[in-house]
A and B are shown apart, each in its own frame.
Chain A
Amino acid sequence: MNLPPKRISMEELDILWERRRSAGAPMPTYVGPLRRHVAEGDRRLLRLEYDASPAALRLWSFLLTEEERLHAARAAGAKIVGTMKDLGTVAVMAYALPNVVAFYPDGAWWTPCVMELSDGLFRIAQSLGFGESFCPVRAMLGAFVNRAHFPIPDILICSAGAVCDDFSAIAQRVESLGHPILWWEMPHRRRPEPDEPAVELPGGFSAPASQVALVRAELERVRAALEGLAGSPLGDAELADAIAEANRVRRLLAELRRLAYTADPCPMPALEMLIAEMLAIHFCSDRAETIRVLADLLEEVRRRVKEKVGIVAKEAARVFWVNPVADLRVMNLLEDCGGRLAGTEFLFSHALDLIPEDLPPMEALARMALADPMAGPSADRAARIERDARAFGAEAVLVSRIPGASHCALEGAVIGRTVRRSLAVPVVEIEVPPLADPMRPTLSAQLEALVETVQERRKR
């Protein structure tokens, strides 16, 4: 049953599920109507618009049932690793072990949005001194306190050093509440000095070999901790297999991104692409299923590209999006205002780039970790954005500031300046709070102005 590509409401997506169920279409058991999540408090789902496809239904169902999977894993005796801040590396290692599940408590930063603040997580964070001057990841602190979301992990592993101050401060507070953390050092990635041995990292950055060696040594500490947790060795062979599996996810995403960000008309909405990219970070607590979910999505996109159909008009302005949004609804807004995604940099490009498979696994993982855009200079990040925006044919760059985030004030300025100079496309900065409804007119005006600028430039 091929539906015409368009965005539909949650009710319509639920009807799609009903029809598929009635027709006996094969679906994983976790796939179901999204209204069940609304009943549990995920009220934002009522205000989002979704891609009208079984693949999107599966994607959303997979995303929204993650907490259930984690609790089920705990009940089944699996060990749960809470890996924090590194966004990708430690998760690859953890999934190399049998009976271990890893997730990022950081992901709680979307909970206040999805639950439209009914979760009370910000209130708890505020009561502990973490108010609006901190980025929305402060919701994680509330989730550790009320224990109403993810299960408390058996071990917490957090990178420190060249990370954002918000996260470092909040994680320290988590530890002070009685949740011990294994801290590991992420150095500030710098450019190699002349004559200094250097290595190329996934994604094209380079770094001094000494920094890679340091990260590798730190990841060895992480490896030992994971072995202790699992009670079984984590050998290079297992790690190599885990890297190969992670790369399966990344290859699917690379193709999905290539098609979704270059094909005309745009075959997949911005919101689903954001969710799909996020799966690369920790596989939404089920690596094998992540591969199937992405394969479904890719098949849908390929079909649409082949049939030359899409979810917006062909003339939609091609926008490269920088940083994840705290309010998912703003991704819908891009298309409402006449835009479409033509590339993204959601602060975890190192979780999308292929991990080298021709290196010793720990060396490969160290290189991946050090490629984290957060760990290096903003100019590196800007260069990556410029390169990718060029490759995807973006006509504008949108930098979405994260309210309260320690890195955003200067980073946006550096990225904006670099991209304007080198790419000569319009750049706009917006700020997206967890619930952006009151700012919707302002955000709409900003996005419409960007789209109009792109359209004017086309006439020249």
Chain B
Amino acid sequence: MTTVVYSSPFVPAEWIAAHGARPKRIRPDAAAAARSAAPVAGMCPYARALAGEAMALRDGQVAVFTTTCDQMRRAAEWTALETPAPVFLFNVPATHGTPAAARLYLDELRRLGRFLARLGASEPSRDTLADVMEAYDARRRQLRDALGVLAPREASEAIAAFDRDGSPPTQAVHGSLPHGIPVAVVGGPLMRNDAQVFDRIEEAGGAVVLDGTESGARTLPAPFDRRRLRDEPVLELVDAYFGSIPDVFRRPDDALVAWLGRELAASGARAVVLWRYVWCDLWAAFAARAGDLAGLPVLDLDVSGDEGADRRTANRLQAFLEVLR
């Protein structure tokens, strides 16, 4: 069975699974960046790390990148030039709310299907797709339920585990919910060991009440409409993913702004930690507006993924939370 490795929340696991392939959404290891041999200066560490992961793929594994940022788009090309492993670049439209944008996303889903078919996968029937979607939806519901009772780091890791293999938390492990200054973490994706940032925040006297990173619950697709799931599963998939996930690359970015306002108010956060990678223009620009949008203090936490980054991050979090006390 072909394993499809990707990192973007806009790639539907259900679509891959329904084609008989194994979806594996990963959080790349920062250490993999060196393998990419891509330039360091000016390049997003996350994109380098994902390229490095893709270059280590073995037979039977393929990589899917998305066009959600310029750096990722070019990292896909770099990877394809450097490795014999098949690489697919999924064009996720930046605009939304137009027939053309939805059509492009739908066309890209179908093109991904053809790509998988060329690797031996099979095109699913409507019922097969609906069955797979229904199963994912049920497991995702379990995941959502668990997120409410898990400690922030455990919740993040539960999402990562679900992304890797589609499995929800096996038991309702009630983590010790943190006490401290309520903080929202908003921003780009996390790499493999980055969930420890939630621990660092707690160690500094904070309590993460909202995970709005790209790796968090913000980018879970909307629950499926059960009736439409059976009638028009592909269109339902388009709506649940492309039509629902708010993100920073979308133009305009009003859905992300609305999400932020709504979720911050619901979470009771008193401050925002904005998680972004150096050279990420999209989140850097959003960071500059986040204070005004949130009406809260914002720590613009630019992370590099290199040695010493964790120590620097801890120091900056410590200083930020001290000010908030």
**Cβ distance A425 to chain B, nearest Cβ, rounded Å:** 20
A134→B95 contact, CB < 8 A: no
Contact B69 A165 (CB under 8 A): yes
Q: B104 touching A221 by the CB < 8 A rule?
A: no
Q: How many A-B pairs fall under 8 Å by CB?
A: 137
Are B100 and A218 in contact (CB-based, < 8 A)?
Answer: yes
- The residues of A that contact B282 with a CB separation of less than 8 Å are 165, 168-169
Interface residues of A in 321-367 (CB under 8 A from B): none
Known: A185-B101, A409-B43. Is A172-B69 also a contact (CB below 8 A)?
Answer: no
Produce 1/0 per residue, A173-207, CB < 8 A to B.
10110000101110110100100000000000000
Contact B38 A410 (CB under 8 A): yes
Contact B39 A185, beta carbon cutoff 8 Å: no
Bound CA–CA A175/B251 (angstroms): 10
| A305 shortest CB reach to chain B, Å | 40
Contact with B along A394-411 (1 / 0, CB 8 A): 000000010011111111
**0/1 per residue, A160-176, Cβ < 8 Å to B?**
11111110111111011
Minimum distance in angstroms from A310 CB to a CB of chain B: 37
Q: Is B94 an interface residue (CB 8 A)?
A: yes
> What's the nearest-Cβ distance from chain B to residue A144, in Å?
14
Say whether B98 contacts A409, CB under 8 Å. Answer: no
Chain A interface residue count, CB cutoff 8 Å, equals: 50
Tell me if A146 is interfacial: C-beta within 8 Å of chain B: no
Q: Is the beta-carbon distance between A168 and B251 smaller than 8 angstroms?
A: yes
Q: Kindly identify which residue among A128, A172, A214, A378 contacts B253, using a CB–CB cutoff of 8 Å.
A: A172
CA of A377 to CA of B38, assembled, Å: 16
Tell me, rounded to whole Å, the shortest Cβ–Cβ distance linking B121 to chain A. Answer: 16
A48 in the interface, Cβ–Cβ < 8 Å? no
**Binary interface encoding of chain B residues 87-116 relative to chain A, with 1 for a CB under 8 A from any of its CBs, else 0:** 001010111001111011001000100100
Distance in angstroms between the alpha carbons of A377 and B73 in the assembled complex: 8
What's the dominant secondary structure at chain B's contact region? helix
Q: Check if B29 is an interface residue, CB within 8 A of chain A.
A: no
A57 to B101, CA, bound (A): 46
| B164 within 8 Å of A (CB atoms) | no
Is A410 a contact of B285 with CB atoms below 8 Å?
A: no
Bound: A158/B282 CA distance, A: 16
Question: Chain B residues near A164 (CB, 8 Å)?
Answer: 70
How far apart sit A165 and B277, CA to CA, in the bound complex (Å)? Answer: 14
A228 contacts B by Cβ under 8 Å? no
B38 shortest CB reach to chain A, Å? 6
Which among A162, A168, A218, A405 has the greatest number of chain B C-beta atoms within 10 A? Answer: A168
Complex Cα spacing A188 to B75, Å: 14
Q: Which of B41, B94, B282 has the most CB of A within 10 A?
A: B94
From known contacts A193-B111, A410-B43, infer whether A172 and B288 are also in contact, taking CB-CB under 8 Å. Answer: no
Interface mask (B249-261 → A, CB under 8 Å = 1, otherwise 0)? 1011100000000
By a CB distance below 8 angstroms, the chain A residues around B287 are 129
B74 to A407, Cβ gap below 8 A? yes
Task: Select A165's contact among B70, B81, B99, beta carbons within 8 Å.
Answer: B70
Residue B67 lies at the interface, judged by CB distance under 8 Å to chain A: yes
Select which of A170, A183, A218 is within 8 A of B285 by beta carbon: A170
**Contact status A378-B95, CB under 8 Å:** no
Residues of chain B with a CB closer than 8 A to A130's CB:
285, 288
- 16 A-B pairs, CB-CB below 8 angstroms? A129-B289, A130-B285, A161-B94, A162-B73, A162-B91, A168-B94, A169-B281, A172-B253, A173-B288, A183-B251, A188-B67, A214-B103, A379-B77, A401-B42, A409-B41, A413-B39
Residues of A at the B interface (CB closer than 8 Å) are 128-130, 133-134, 158, 160-166, 168-173, 175-176, 181, 183-185, 187-188, 190, 193, 210, 214, 217-218, 221, 377-379, 401, 404-414, 417
Interface residues of B (CB under 8 A from A): 38-39, 41-43, 67, 69-71, 73-75, 77-78, 81, 89, 91, 93-95, 98-101, 103-104, 107, 111, 114, 249, 251-253, 278-282, 284-289
Can you name 20 extra interface pairs (CB under 8 A) apart from A162-B91, A210-B107, A413-B38? Answer: A129-B284, A129-B285, A160-B95, A161-B67, A161-B95, A162-B67, A165-B70, A165-B71, A169-B286, A185-B98, A214-B103, A379-B77, A405-B42, A406-B71, A408-B42, A409-B41, A410-B71, A410-B78, A413-B78, A414-B74
